[in-house]
Amino acid sequence: YLINIETEKTSKLTFDLDGLFTASWSPDANYLCFVGNRGNASDIFLYDLHSETFENLTNDLFSDSEPVWSPDGKFIAFVSDRGEHSVKSEDEDWNTLNMFEHNYSQRDIYVLDTHTKKMERITSTDHDETYPVWAHTENILFYTSDDQGVWNIVRHEIPSGKVQQITNVLTGIQQLSLSEDDKSLIFSGYNEGGWDIYNLSYPLESQIFEIEPTNYYLNRNEDDSFSDLRLDKSRNRQTDKLSADYSRYIFAPHYGHFNDQLTENDATNFSQDSLRQSEKLISQKYLPRFTLDFAGGNFSFSNIYGAQG
């Protein structure tokens, strides 16, 4: 919907899309860019308010979100999981890409030229970047990054590629919005059990935080396995059948690689040895086992549907 705040007149725009999100006005107020869902993908669309036509700017199987305009109206910054697929050659068809082999959980910032349709990848890191906003007085992007495991605000100089973290919170920051004079950066932050609106004054001049990585971040390794130090690998082996009921399956996407250990470890169970005197503990690979701990039910009676439960 478009609402004239002076006359309060409302007009409805309709599109042949399954969903529409995060609309953004162009600086000259002639265009709208937004995220549109159609079928199995979300793309960046451009709507011409004068001709009442819209165009799919990305048109691929990758997920795109949070488009924002540059101050001159020539570029659109957005978030995507497309990875290295920012420039498509004429003989390349991204619609045939095997998405099972693509890391669709990794999000970066991209910039799209609205005239040439050329795309540039702005960030290329192992962590995620979201909520980009463009400064009006300098060629700088602000966005949030979970570089150290918590979402903080980053200042990114486009020409030089210089990146600096300007906040250091423990609970996360989202949904950035920058005033036209670049003096106020508004965002939502989590504090004392709820989300609140905050203002960061003069973000172009904000203090730079040099955050030292935690030990967990420095030592993270996808091949690391959990250990149960109570078990002795050398005694009391008991052979059992392989479990095919998913009671030990790890469903969390970031820990799915531990499922490779199921075939290796599930055939043998180890008993605790209460007579063992040695203080040396032998590490064992951790595997979950899900059991039913609670079951509940309820009963109600509806005047329309009768007894339910």
- CATH number of the domain enclosing 137: 2.120.10.30
**pLDDT (tens digit per residue) in 6-27:** 999 999 988 989 999 999 999 9
Sheet containing 140-145: give its strands across: 129-134, 140-145, 152-157, 163-165
Where is the domain boundary, 181, 200, 216? 216
Q: Would you say residue 66 has pLDDT above 60?
A: yes
Count of positions (residues) in the chain = 309
**pLDDT in the model for residue 232:** 44
Q: Are residues 211 and 309 in the same domain?
A: no
Where is the domain boundary, 216, 246, 261? 216
Please give the residue range of the domain that contains residue 161: 2-216
pLDDT (average), residues 189-212:
88
Q: Are residues 205 and 234 in the same domain?
A: no
Q: Are residues 210 and 284 in the same domain?
A: no
Q: Are residues 36 and 137 in the same domain?
A: yes
pLDDT (average), residues 277-298:
74
Q: Are residues 33 and 58 in the same domain?
A: yes
Label residue 263 by pLDDT band (50, 70, 90).
low
pLDDT (average), residues 77-94:
77
Q: Are residues 51 and 23 in the same domain?
A: yes
What is the total count of domains within the chain? Answer: 2
Distance CA 145, CA 271 (A): 45
Q: Are residues 14 and 43 in the same domain?
A: yes
Distance CA 267, CA 238 (A): 9
Q: Determine which of 159-163, 188-192, 211-215, 275-279 has the lowest per-residue pLDDT on average.
A: 275-279
**pLDDT (tens digit per residue) in 135-157:** 999 999 999 999 888 899 999 99
Q: Are residues 85 and 109 in the same domain?
A: yes
**pLDDT in the model for residue 252:** 75
**pLDDT (tens digit per residue) in 34-64:** 999 988 789 999 999 999 999 999 988 889 9
Label residue 210 by pLDDT band (50, 70, 90).
confident
Q: Are residues 28 and 126 in the same domain?
A: yes
Q: Determine which of 20-34, 173-187, 236-250 has the lowest per-residue pLDDT on average.
A: 236-250
Q: How many CA atoms lie within 13 A of 116 on its CB side?
A: 8
Where is the domain boundary, 216, 246, 277? 216
Distance CA 114, CA 28 (A): 14
Distance CA 65, CA 239 (A): 51
